[in-house]
Structure 1
């Protein structure tokens, strides 16, 4: 496959390289955020004993070309089998970089599909990929394949937990063109910024919006259905009290993060969705 840097720009001016760069930056947006309930940040490892910020940065470095390559594949109208091969190869590079630690498997799948959709939109529409056009591209190009994929027996712990508890896991989210991302996360981030919150505050508030509604298979795997529902209730209550914008909001977010760590809970699916929302904001503006 030719590298994205050698490709002619799409009519929108948003090249596969720019789409991929936005994905890497969005993952750094998520990593650098604090306090995040149970999740790795630049200053602590959250509920994890096998990874820290250095692990995530090595992973990010290993993935930086993948996102551009899969955006180029989407631009060329690649079928789902080719996208899946790109993702499998990226996962192998991630695991080699992290010594076998899964830092970004969910992001490889979710952001990879979104980058492919952005490539398709830029080539077809000649414009920056707005949220609804991204969803339309996912459905039009790979909807049937994603629906079929969602019926496969799960192999990974999160997927197995989701299937056991009757939850909508990552495969089902993809088959629905990521409803939590487009119907909850992106609007929450947009509205938070419109209210005058800082980018950091807006991302934190958005993370709690996602945790409140997402059937996060990472939470189900670590804490069972009770752990997932506790996390959702806790996030919802935090938002009902006014979220991060209150004077005591940041202090309360720290306390909630400590509760997640005590319970060994980590909402990895919510973290991936937050990164995806940050990416949507970047590419919608033309990156």
Structure 2
């Protein structure tokens, strides 16, 4: 029996792990995008691998447990997209993902926004892989065209911080962002990641810091509105703009300045959670948009 085994690169076929499906490859990258968001520092007020920022109920390990628990649900969302599922079906998967997150974190909401945002991009990747939209169509555009109306018409969570802040201050929040095709990802996050490659070549963490500050400066983050009101949002956006105006990560002293801003956010208990979700989505989209669908996550990492 062994004599008839086909051998490629000196590794018997029987000993090699099975090839990952498209759903599994995309889900693996979705999980990795959440981990890369956590492995970014300094991010003003946010949890990272260095500290817990403005939070007392979560740390990097909490987020990593959550990201691992969400991976199968991201795969399910890709598969749902491949079958042209309705927003109702995607919501059901998202709710199961949220229960898994809360179980993994002991009841702490680490990734509700990412389940929604990254999850929709996963579904869009599935729709595109199935040939149901143009092969070169941006994932955000796919979300807007296929599910935009359903997103706006769907049930609301009146007790969520985003919904409460949006109702009080008139901010659009994650729902509006998704229905419009994630303009903050495609017009702010992705360009910042690309530009940072020229400002600080090879410095991947620095590129993510640049994107994070760019998103804080541009987005009406309902998490900031919830924690600090309109004044807190203005402070956060101005601090981020000042950082960028002074060269961002292109300034030799960028880490010192970014950490100083981080400490100022912590002192005010500000946490731009919306920007963190958009950063993870930007990292996710950067890989899925620039590579053919048949590439593995090992090639994308």
Give unpaired runs (5+ residues) of structure 2.
1-16, 293-299
Q: Find the counterpart in structure 2 of residue 12 from structure 1.
A: none
Is contact 1:201–1:245 with CA below 8 Å preserved after alignment? no
Q: Find the counterpart in structure 1 of residue 36 from structure 2.
A: 29
Residue 202 of structure 1 pairs with residue 207 of structure 2: yes
| Pairs within 5 Å for 1:47-58 | 47-58=54-65
Would you say how many aligned residue pairs link Structure 1 and Structure 2?
A: 275
Give unpaired runs (5+ residues) of structure 1.
10-14
Structure 1 residue 133: Cα displacement: 2.4
Q: Find the counterpart in structure 1 of residue 247 from structure 2.
A: 242
| Pairs within 5 Å for 1:135-214 | 135-149=140-154, 152=156, 154-197=158-201, 198-214=203-219
User: TM-score, structure 1 length as denominator?
Assistant: 0.90
Is contact 1:121–1:133 with CA below 8 Å preserved after alignment? no
Q: 1:255 aligns with which of 234, 255, 260?
A: 260
Of the structure 1 ranges 172-181 and 118-127, higher mean CA displacement relative to structure 2 is found in 118-127
Q: Deviations over 1:250-271 (max 9, x none)?
A: 1100100000000000111100
Aligned counterparts of 1:244 and 1:195: Cα–Cα separation in 2: 7
Structure 1 residue 122: Cα displacement: 1.5
Q: Find the counterpart in structure 1 of residue 45 from structure 2.
A: 38
Structure 1 residue 8: Cα displacement: 9.5
Q: 2:97 aligns with which of 90, 95, 104?
A: 90
RMSD: 2.1
- Larger-Rg structure: 2
Q: Deviations over 1:20-70 (max 9, x none)?
A: 111111111100111111111112111001001111111112111111110
Aligned counterparts of 1:179 and 1:22: Cα–Cα separation in 2: 21
Change (3 A) 1:271 1:8: closer
Instruction: State the SS of the aligned residue for 2:258.
Output: helix
Is contact 1:163–1:169 with CA below 8 Å preserved after alignment? no
Structure 1 residue 126: Cα displacement: 9.1
Q: Deviations over 1:195-239 (max 9, x none)?
A: 443111111111000000111111111111110111011101110
